[in-house]
Chains A and B, each alone.
Chain A
Amino acid sequence: MSTTLMRWRSLAWVLPALVLLLVFVYYPIVDNLRLSLFSWNAFSVAPTFVGLDNYRTAFHDPIFWTALRNNTVFAIVSLVFQVGFSLVLAALLEEFVHERLRGILRTIYFIPAVISITVAGILFSFLYNPEIGLVNRLLGAVGLESWQHSWLGEPSTAMGSIIAMSQWQSIGYTAILFVVGIQRIPKEFHEAAKVDGAGPIRRFFSVTVPMVREMTTLIIILTVSGAFLVFNEVMVMTAGGPSNSSQVLGTWLYRNAFLNDDMGYASAIATVIFVITLAIGAVQIVVSRRRRIQW
């Protein structure tokens, strides 16, 4: 078979996936960019071209900046808990816990990840209820009445409460991914370090952390992108309130598209989200490629 024919054949195999990608991924991205240059809504008789006006609106919109800040805080907290804490948890599970108990604990940690976000949101709405919620009851029981809040009802605590719920749900999932990464490290590496007199903490930093770098990069990309795409948690628990204090870019986009009837502005917000997540993904992939470890 000639090389040309083989190439055409391989192209034929790839083509369906390529077409699907173009139609369902790249075309919407390009079209969204175009739509962000119009002022239009679902009922528009005549959409008008407004150039970069929607981006200027975003720049001067204080709620857009609140949303961006909330997403950033979400990403930072998620990095600490879903990457840092999860890696420690996974290492502890693999290093110190007996094999039988390890399986049980892994299952326990993973259970929140399989609960629907809507169910988890409603569950935490009950926990955060200022009158009957478990959180305030617990604080009251230990004499910390002054710490009690209407957790989802006060602008100062609403976003933090949502982020806390999200960490509870995701830590187990990322910890299991780290467990997989840790199990792939050849045992000899740890044994050699032990022979050299390295203790558990030294082995964690000198063997485990470098050897799970690729998994860490993957989880960082997933976590940070997820933090900028967050939507369900906020919609279920506060819908962006009170007083827009828990808006994130996704919910602010949704509100403008479907409640404020400003699809053009919503498209501009979508473009901003796309640019942020693309940039984060690209930077992380480049960094991880430079530091790849092979054995």
Chain B
Amino acid sequence: MKHTTRSASFAVLATVTAVALAACGAPGTANPGAGGASNQSLTAPAEKSGTITMVTKFADPKYAPYFESVTKAYEQANPKVTIKLEQVGDQPYKDKIRVLSASKQLPDIYFSWAGDFANKFVRAGLAADLTSVIGPDTEWGKTFSPAALKAFETKGKNFGVPIDLDAKYLAYNKAAFTKAGISGAPASLEELIGDCDKLRTAGYTPIAFGNQYGWPAIHYITQLNAYNVAPDTLAKDYDPATGAFTDPGYAKAVDQFKDIVTHCSSKDANGVSHEAGQANFLNGKAAMHYLESVEFQALTAKGGAPKELADNWDFMRLPAPQGAAGDAGALTGAPDGFMVNAQSKNAALAVDVLKFMTTQQNAAKLTADIGWLSPVQGSATSANSFPQLQSALADISKANQFAIWLDTVTNAEVANAYLSGIEGVISGSKSSKDVMTGVQEAAAKAKKQAG
């Protein structure tokens, strides 16, 4: 009897194990039928009804209410539609969207950075081809800034709806410049380095810089790479299938960054968060701060900045080095955007939600509510924004091209090699040669993976 009981117990165990293991399919079997929604009509249905799932990375309490209010407004205008909006933070979003992709639970609408991050979804057939509705010649497409639209273009097809415009600028305290005897914005990188020395003599930290998580330094490198490397070479190297990073301009960019750290900042920057660095600029201890235009609001009285700074700041692009071989008119930045799930049964409705989100009225509301620039043309006016934001919009429209964030435009291996290498440059443990050796090895690995 004892034997029978044991056998039965093992049978139960074996059955449960078998059931559990049977549930296990091949890992990450994403659907090979790329562009599912491209076969569906993306024209808004006559009767709008159904449920739309949407995931954003805008959980920050400063930004989340805007997206909540716009989706609620859509629901009010279309009572038979429910939008299940989920907002997570910047870093958790990167985990969440991958888990949702692997488990085939991708929402109807999801956030994406421009560049290789978006292309991963395109390559896996998880992003709907939206060219028929948002292509540059369509009615909707014409409402956007062409550069913003192009940031989500892959092989001539449009896969994303740009939602905001973001660019990197060097904000400066005009009072500090005056005190240090600097008459205006420097015209070249060499001039900036000279100004940093003057500012240090005047008692200021020239540039407030916190690089605790690595990305702030990567933004400098993004801009310096664009200045020092010809656009065609840059495009070839940023493509995982062809990247080599052998152009001498890359090492030059790292050396220029090292000069900026030495003269304008501190080798301690790796131990300071970006926000702590920004606090030094806000309280007048630092004279400059390299930040994104979406952060401009923090420098205004409405955003909580002290009056002495709020009334006394302006901005410039990071000046280009003299005789740089790249594009001196390139500007670091990119629009963020939303993509539509290629397998969504409600793709047309999802497109309609995004159309609503990017109407002239809602784009203007984006600027008024959270101080972001919208890629919808003519949405920033003196009524809903502040002078620096309008100047930034004018400057973005003058840029030759967007130099998309290095950590999202390249393959992740290359981005990580840059990230750890540049941290070493700041702390003094690595040279530009070390950094580029690491980057070249990572590019070779990425090329092998890309096949």
Chain A residues with CB below 8 A from B426, complex form: 153, 242
Selected interface stretch from B107-115, B190-198, B412-420? B412-420
In the complex, the answer to whether A150 meets B30 with C-beta atoms within 8 Å is no
B384 on the interface (CB 8 Å rule)? no
Residues in chain A near residue B269, CB distance under 8 A: 150, 153
Q: Is A125 in contact with B212, judged by CB distance below 8 angstroms?
A: yes
- Residues of chain B lying within 8 A (CB to CB) of residue A153: 211-212, 267-272, 426-427
Bound-complex Cα distance A42 to B121 (A): 10
A259 to B98, CA, bound (A): 9
Q: How far is the CA of A19 from the CA of B12 in the complex (A)?
A: 10
Distance between Cα atoms of A129 and B29 in the complex (Å)? 45
- The chain A residue with its CB closest to the CB of B267 is A150
Q: Contact check, A42 vs B102: say whether CB atoms are below 8 A apart.
A: yes
Would you call B9 and A11 a contact (CB within 8 A)? yes
Across the interface, which residues of B come within 8 angstroms of A43, CB to CB? 28, 30, 98, 101, 120-121, 123-124, 126
Q: Closest CB of chain A to B442's CB: distance in Å? A: 10
Whether A35 contacts B416 by the Cβ 8 Å rule is no
Measured CB to CB, the closest approach of chain B to A149, in angstroms, equals 8
Contacts of B267 in A (CB 8 A): 150, 153
Cβ contact within 8 Å between B101 and A42? yes
B-contact bits for A257-279, CB 8 A (1 contact / 0 none): 11111011000000000000000
* A263 touching B27, Cβ below 8 Å: yes
Indicate if the CB atoms of B5 and A27 lie closer than 8 Å.
no
Q: Flag B308-341 by CB within 8 Å of A: 1 or 0 each.
A: 0000000000000000000000000000000000
Q: Establish whether residues A4 and B30, one from each chain, have CB atoms under 8 Å apart when the complex forms.
A: no
Interface majority SS (helix, strand, loop, mixed), chain B: helix
Q: How many residues of B contact A (CB 8 A)?
A: 58
On whether the beta carbons of A258 and B26 are closer than 8 Å, the reply is no
Is A146's CB within 8 Å of the partner chain B?
no
Q: Is A116 on the interface with B (CB-CB < 8 A)?
A: no
Most buried by B among A15, A130, A132, A239: A130
A126 → chain B closest CB, angstroms: 8
A191 contacts the other chain (CB 8 A) = no
* A242 and B21 within 8 A (CB): no
Task: Kindly report which residue of chain B lies nearest to residue A238, judged by CB atoms.
Answer: B212
B394 lies within 8 A of chain A by Cβ: no
B87 at the interface (CB under 8 A from A): no
State A132–B276 Cα separation when bound (angstroms): 10
- Interfacial residues of chain A within 1-54, with CB under 8 A of chain B in the complex: 3-4, 7-8, 11, 15, 18-19, 22-23, 26-27, 30-31, 34-35, 38, 40-47
Complex Cα–Cα for A8 and B1 (A):
12
Tell me the nearest residue of chain B to A47, going by C-beta: B27
User: How far is it, in angstroms, between the C-alpha of A154 and the C-alpha of B428 when the chains are bound?
Assistant: 9
What is the bound-complex CA distance between A15 and B11, given in angstroms? 12
Nearest CB in chain B: distance from A189 CB, A: 44
Per-position 1/0 for B9-20, Cβ under 8 A of A: 100110011001
What total count of A-B pairs have CB within 8 Å?
A: 158
Check A125/B273 contact, CB under 8 A, given A45-B30, A155-B427.
yes
B250 to A: closest C-beta gap in Å: 18
Cα A125 to Cα B212 with chains together (Å): 10
A151 in the interface (beta carbon within 8 A): yes
Question: Cα distance A40–B170 when bound, in Å?
Answer: 40
In the bound complex, what is the Cα–Cα distance between A292 and B21 (angstroms)?
39
Which residue of chain B lies nearest to A30 when distances are taken between CB atoms in the complex? B21
* B276-310 with Cβ < 8 A to chain A: 276, 280
Instruction: Judge if B94 is at the interface, Cβ distance under 8 Å.
Output: yes
Decide if A131 touches B272 in the complex (CB within 8 Å): yes
A260 CA to B449 CA, complexed, in Å = 12
Q: How far is the CB of B397 from chain A (nearest CB, A)?
A: 33
B202 at the interface (CB under 8 A from A): no
CA distance A260 to B101 in the complex (A): 15
**Contact A241 B213, beta carbon cutoff 8 Å:** yes
Is the Cβ of B420 less than 8 Å from the Cβ of A243?
Answer: yes
Within 8 Å CB of A130, what residues of B? 266, 268, 271-272
The 6 closest A-B pairs by CB, nearest first: A153-B271, A153-B270, A150-B271, A150-B268, A242-B423, A42-B98
Q: A15-B12, A150-B267 are in contact. List 19 more A-B contacts (CB 8 A).
A: A4-B5, A18-B16, A22-B16, A27-B17, A27-B23, A38-B27, A43-B101, A43-B120, A43-B121, A44-B27, A151-B271, A241-B419, A242-B420, A243-B429, A244-B420, A259-B94, A259-B416, A260-B416, A263-B28
Binding site for A on B (CB under 8 A): 1, 4-5, 8-9, 12-13, 16-17, 20-21, 23-24, 26-32, 94-95, 98-99, 101-102, 120-121, 123-126, 211-214, 266-273, 276, 280, 412-413, 416, 419-421, 423-424, 426-427, 429-430
Q: Which residues of A contact B (CB under 8 A)?
A: 3-4, 7-8, 11, 15, 18-19, 22-23, 26-27, 30-31, 34-35, 38, 40-47, 125, 128-132, 149-155, 238-239, 241-244, 255, 257-261, 263-264
22 contacts between A and B (CB under 8 A): A3-B1, A4-B1, A23-B16, A27-B24, A38-B26, A42-B28, A43-B101, A43-B121, A43-B123, A43-B126, A44-B124, A45-B30, A45-B31, A130-B266, A130-B271, A150-B271, A153-B270, A154-B427, A243-B420, A258-B94, A258-B98, A261-B412
